[in-house]
Structure 1
Amino acid sequence: MTNHYVAINYIQCNEDFRDRFEQMFATRAHAIDTMPGFVNMHVLRPEKAGDAYLIVSYWETEQSFKDWMKSPAFTAGHQRGFAELAKAKEEGRPAPMSSDFKIYRIISE
């Protein structure tokens, strides 16, 4: 089995931020694509308003994922999202999105 670990980022977006969020992914930097141990990624749009987007990334090892999270490429790849959060905070608005990472081990394919 090649893909041992899956990291899922559950992203909640305010309804008025969904189009911007999707646009950011459509024009993403692809910084993750060259990371050692990275296999593939899927971005899943929820069917029901209020449900989270799922960013599902596949990794050869858990350490590969952890290395990505600490890398300059991670910061570069998320720069626009971080800027959106900072802008909302500066303007005294609630964050337009929130993120929650969870890691899973593949036990069956």
Structure 2
Amino acid sequence: MRILMVALAATLLAGCAGSAMNDARTKAPYKTLNSDKPAKDVAQCVQYSWQDEAVFGVDAAAYLEPGAKGSTTVYTRSAESFVDVTTDASGTVLSYYAQQDDFVAKRRLAALATCL
């Protein structure tokens, strides 16, 4: 029963995060960055850097989700911050979105930049 409740809660949260991400994608990204590294490696690095409890405290959760056309999205709880990692002719493109322009958003951007 407990496992069922956890699975249901996770599904509901993922649905809410997906809606927030789709709404954010209708606007311009907070920041767009480029990398010569493979998209998969960059996405895994971003996920790892966003999970650093020494930097982000107890809310150091980051998740990977496959996207359209081979892209990957790395996102935090409630999609407060997320990055779409895609591959194009020039290499890997990172489109970073943040719900608020605050200290945490800037800190996540700085962590993301270490993966370029």
The verdict on a shared fold, with TM-score over 0.5 as the criterion, is no
TM-score (norm 2): 0.37
1 or 2, which has the higher strand percentage?
1
Bigger fraction of residues in helix: 2
